[in-house]
């Protein structure tokens, strides 16, 4: 038991150091202004993604984690640098697809789904089909596991609206999965380390996760959950994640957080400047702060540093003041 704990702590420390060592100097193409108008570096998310890939390599390559994290991070990077910020939410991207226009968000949905499906297939236990189908059915279980991995990637991205919020959302399930003995405990420990390594830059608003880091973190914790939970537990988790994603199309997560003091305290913890709360407990509207620096070479369509490009429409309306 003690040796297992030491091993997990060592894995977390290695992962944290890998993120700190990978953060490169600022490049204008990766600079954005966040919701407070502060200049932040998108390469913080690239470093987080790289740290997770290093964690998946480990002593023996974790092919499922590698597939999910690589696909999620790559799709997020394309959306970060070339995404059209005018299209928001799952409904928005699918609506554009029905009109014959392929957005980077739609591409990301496809790539995320493919990576999650590959990861779910790679995590299926060996054995004759008859042995597997006694529980839920091989095909159905792959579908549930893929939904959990892809949904987790999207949900973490939806929560990345303020510094540190997405990292806190990942830290709790990763720490719980790391604390128990399961096939996913080592990966969960390394995810916890990546979160710790990413925290200083993200909390201080020097870097941002962006779609790259948030999607990769969510996919990784989804893989750890598939490995660490029972089939029924994975079904419950996938259902809960899907419900939150659907709710994000109508409900602003930020509004819910700001109106509940205990959630607001958790959300503000660790930040240099807590969000203002207007009298009456409503949502503080924030305007502007979405443009990349003047003359940013190769900068794609701008989006808020803490506003993922495929967030639900409700959060988009609550985050950007309309008058």
Report the alpha-carbon distance of residue 274 to residue 165 in Å, rounded: 12
pLDDT of residue 38: 84
The pLDDT of residue 323 is 30
Residue 187 burial (CB count, 10 A): 29
Report the predicted TM-score, pTM, of the whole model to 2 decimal places. Answer: 0.79
Structure-block tokens of residue 170: 């990942």
Other Cβ atoms within 10 Å of 155 Cβ, number: 24
CB 149 within 8 A of CB 215: no
Pairwise CA distance, residues 236 & 63, whole Å: 25
Count other C-beta atoms under 10 Å from residue 139's C-beta.
11
- CA distance linking residue 259 with residue 291, whole number of Å: 28
According to the model, what pLDDT value does residue 21 have? 62
Look at residues 195, 201, 315 and name the one whose alpha carbon lies nearest to residue 258: 315
3-state secondary structure the chain: CHHHHHHHHHHHHHHHHHHHHHCCCCCHHHEEECCCCCEEECHHHHHHHHHHHHHHHCCCCCHHHHHHHHHHHHHHHHHHHHCCCCCCHHHHHHHHHHCCCCCHHHHHHHHHHHHHHHHHHHCCCCCCHHHHHCCCCHHHHHHHHHHHHHHHHHHHHHHCCCCCHHHHHHHHHHHHHHHCCCCCHHHHHHHHHHHHHHHHHHHCCCECCHHHHHHHHHHHHHHHHHHHCCHHHHHHHHHHHHHHHHHCCCCCHHHHHHCCHHHHHHHHCCCCCCCCCCCCCCCCCECCCCCCCCCCCCCCCCCCCCCCCCCCHHHHHHHECCC
Please tell me the total number of residues recorded for the chain in this structure. 323
Per-residue pLDDT of the chain (323 residues; tens, 9 = 90+): 455 555 656 666 666 666 666 555 566 778 777 778 888 888 888 889 988 998 887 656 689 999 999 999 999 998 888 876 666 666 666 666 677 777 777 788 899 999 999 999 999 876 555 454 555 578 888 999 999 999 999 999 999 989 999 999 999 999 999 988 888 888 998 899 899 889 988 998 888 899 999 999 999 999 999 999 999 999 999 999 999 999 988 888 988 998 999 999 999 988 877 766 544 443 333 323 333 333 333 333 333 444 444 445 455 433 433 33
What are the φ/ψ torsions at residue 72 (nearest 5 degrees)?
A: -65, -45
Report how far apart, in Å, the C-alpha atoms of 179 and of each of 11, 44, 58, 232, 233 are: 13, 27, 19, 20, 17
- Nearest CA to 237 among 251, 221, 214? 221
Residue 173 has what pLDDT?
94
pLDDT of residue 294: 33
- Nearest alpha carbon to residue 291 among 39, 123, 48: 39
Between the CA of residue 295 and those of 27, 29, 108, 298, what are the distances in Å? 12, 9, 27, 9
């Amino acid at each position: 038991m003690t040796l297992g704990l030491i091993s997990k702590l060592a894995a977390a420390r290695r992962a944290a150091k890998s993120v700190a060592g990978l953060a490169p100097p600022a490049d204008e193409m990766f600079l954005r202004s966040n919701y407070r108008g502060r200049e932040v570096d998108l390469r913080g998310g690239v470093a987080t993604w790289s740290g997770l890939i290093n964690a998946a390599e480990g002593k023996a390559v974790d092919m499922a984690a590698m597939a999910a994290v690589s696909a999620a991070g790559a799709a997020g990077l394309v959306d970060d640098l070339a995404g059209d910020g005018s299209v928001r939410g799952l409904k928005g991207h699918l609506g554009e697809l029905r009109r014959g226009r392929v957005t980077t968000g739609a591409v990301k949905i496809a790539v995320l789904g493919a990576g999650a499906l590959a990861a779910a297939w790679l995590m299926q236990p060996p054995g004759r089909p008859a042995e597997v189908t006694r529980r839920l059915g091989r095909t159905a279980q792959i579908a549930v596991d893929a939904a959990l991995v892809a949904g987790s990637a999207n949900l973490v991205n939806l929560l990345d609206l303020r510094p540190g919020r997405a990292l806190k959302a990942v830290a709790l399930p990763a720490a719980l999965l790391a604390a128990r003995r399961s096939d996913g405990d080592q990966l969960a420990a390394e995810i916890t380390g990546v979160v710790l390594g990413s925290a200083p830059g993200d909390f201080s608003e020097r870097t941002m996760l962006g779609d790259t880091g948030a999607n990769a973190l969510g996919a990784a914790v989804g893989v750890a959950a598939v490995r660490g939970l029972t089939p029924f537990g994975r079904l419950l988790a996938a259902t809960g994640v899907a419900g939150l994603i659907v709710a994000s199309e109508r409900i602003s997560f930020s509004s819910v957080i700001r109106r509940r003091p205990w959630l607001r305290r958790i959300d503000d913890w660790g930040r240099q400047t807590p969000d203002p709360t207007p009298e009456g407990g409503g949502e503080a509207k924030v305007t502007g702060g979405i443009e990349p620096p003047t003359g940013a070479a190769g900068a794609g369509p701008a989006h808020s540093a803490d506003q993922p490009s495929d967030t639900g429409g409700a959060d988009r309306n609550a985050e950007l003041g309309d008058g």
